[in-house]
Structure 1
């Protein structure tokens, strides 16, 4: 999905068309390279003596090898058509010719085609139709349960139907809405005297909320918190999940807007909340990254080790943000987009910025030595820069902790989240 959002940002800024195709019975196209046998289908009478089995020549639905066999067959066909597989995302296929590019991205049997070479796009459609049984779905409207709407203002991405179905299934269509997805200064943790809740239902709800996070960065932090208790949920944890659902009820049609900003610069925001977890005192870090002024990737995750200072927590968060920016740079390079300047990663901790620029290795930075060398190398190569941003303008703050309603909604506006279904 990260790659899909990058392509949508490019399509919005460069006016690329977006076409969608579906392969009928995709797994039946897969060629098996190993011997696989199956028992006879029910109702098939065999007159021969002994046990009889069938040897498969092609993959079937339900076979573990089917997805790999189908993708291998599809990859061979795309290479034969002259397309190159991207190293940044193996489901992305590219073809450059005469200064133009054609792009195809596939998820199982759903594919999206875009680019600025209209002749090659038409040729690719014919080649795919000759190789597989295809269904042309026209302009991109609905992809993996995500609604895509294109207009003069840009491309809008949302999961309104998914949210309404989720609320209907949980019986919360008539619940009273709330303005933030998680309570400020919450104390969610595992306690010895906690009351257990319905574990399968909790896991099912959190799993559906994780998928919803593909277009709703506003619930990313809340979902990352509740997903930490999947193995042993309590009534309080279930109440936190219900609060997220009540927040979704307030604006089920909210989603991401990809606008035309006339540039393709890459930038990001990174932040960390030091020792935020009351269970193990690990910090939570998060980042937002932008391509062409549009939000494309984000993450909210508890760090793996305990940070001994706020600067260390911020520094580890910066390293994660740098990794994401470098991945975006490599992806854009494959797409033929060359960066014109260093990528900016905005940070609100001056100590962490100073450590990254300091050429001297101190004893107090030994425990982050690998991250320090990694970041310093990218700084020396002038691939990234770390501008300081005041804490009140740090967009990634909402990925590391529960903030006030005013700060929360101010950040959402800057991130490009809109509710096109809201009454004007």
Structure 2
């Protein structure tokens, strides 16, 4: 990696200030982007001649093979067309269904029922098999945000899992069976406003009364980032749970804003959308009284 970075510096490729695996080369109105992942390299340019020149230089310096247009990377299937780019993991999904024997049986329309009760009172199941299913599903969330919340909820019970937990996991697999071709489509567009959405429940899970919060970030109509997480401590109000969710969303948006600067995308203001009036009022209030002092100290970074 060090030798490669030095070689890129000789080629006058500028290292990203945010992502040390990203290198950028500019020539007039054109630019070349190079992304490194371990021993794999993805590169693209606004001018095809830059790609050809970069390929020739890399093959002359290192022992490597050029795979051509990007179609498959780290389990992700990538299809490029005039309208945009489609990313999916249908091949990996089929392998999972075959591995865990979920090829037969009916499908369901949602990854988790709204009235599901995941508790610790039912019979225990094989812990190793349960963890294997969770680990396999977590990798699938790279292109399937629709199953992220359900998987993260089931992942909390990897120690001494019960029958109710296994039933919830198997429902995710039955949902995947009917939605194998689902993925993410990134349409071709010249306008990419950055925006974020945040939300949270309030002490929904009765076993520990900790809130679950999540957010997603869009570039124009393109979903580019998402997460779902259990809060580390118990929130004392709905407003606090929602405000913490918005704060986490804000950190991700700030990182994305800095990263986009390396792609020569300058963004001035970034809106965060939240459905809690109290959270919005606290965010807009420049003078915080004693009851929200802990929020100011912890989250107004």
Q: Which category describes the TM-score, using the shorter chain as reference length?
A: over 0.9
Report how far residue 293 of structure 1 moved: 2.1
Match of 2:227 among 295, 299, 304: 299
User: Counterpart in 2 of 1:176?
Assistant: 106
TM-score normalised over the length of structure 2: 0.96
Match of 1:119 among 33, 40, 49: 49
CA distance in 2, matches of 1:353, 1:372: 14
Report how far residue 371 of structure 1 moved: 4.6
User: Counterpart in 2 of 1:282?
Assistant: 210
User: Counterpart in 1 of 2:91?
Assistant: 161
Report how far residue 314 of structure 1 moved: 0.6
User: Counterpart in 2 of 1:247?
Assistant: 175
The answer to whether the Cα contact below 8 Å between 1:289 and 1:325 also exists between their aligned partners in 2 is yes
Report how far residue 77 of structure 1 moved: 2.0
1:3-152 to structure 2, matched below 5 A, reads 71-152=1-82
CA distance in 1, matches of 2:169, 2:300: 40
Query: Which structure has more RCO (C-alpha within 8 Å, separation ≥ 6)?
Result: 1
Report how far residue 119 of structure 1 moved: 3.0
CA distance in 2, matches of 1:216, 1:172: 18
1:284-363 to structure 2, matched below 5 A, reads 284-339=212-267, 341-363=268-290
User: Counterpart in 2 of 1:367?
Assistant: 294
Deviations 1:261-303 (A, max 9, x none): 3302101111111112212111111111011320000000011
Seen in structure 2, the aligned counterparts of structure 1 residues 234 and 372 have a Cα distance that, compared at 3 Å, is: closer
Secondary structure, counterpart of 2:151 in structure 1: helix
Which runs of at least 4 in structure 1 moved beyond 4 Å after TM superposition? none
Seen in structure 2, the aligned counterparts of structure 1 residues 319 and 302 have a Cα distance that, compared at 3 Å, is: same
Seen in structure 2, the aligned counterparts of structure 1 residues 108 and 184 have a Cα distance that, compared at 3 Å, is: same
The answer to whether the Cα contact below 8 Å between 1:187 and 1:278 also exists between their aligned partners in 2 is no
Report how far residue 127 of structure 1 moved: 1.4
CA distance in 1, matches of 2:272, 2:56: 43
CA distance in 1, matches of 2:138, 2:300: 33
* Residue 197 in structure 1 maps to residue 125 in structure 2: yes
The answer to whether the Cα contact below 8 Å between 1:316 and 1:371 also exists between their aligned partners in 2 is no
* Residue 225 in structure 1 maps to residue 153 in structure 2: yes
CA distance in 2, matches of 1:135, 1:372: 47
Match of 1:186 among 111, 116, 120: 116
User: Counterpart in 2 of 1:21?
Assistant: none
Match of 2:164 among 232, 236, 245: 236
TM-score normalised over the length of structure 1: 0.69
Structure 1: segments with no counterpart, 5+ residues: 1-70, 375-424
CA distance in 1, matches of 2:148, 2:111: 9
CA distance in 1, matches of 2:105, 2:82: 35
Matched length: 301
Higher Rg of the two aligned structures: 1
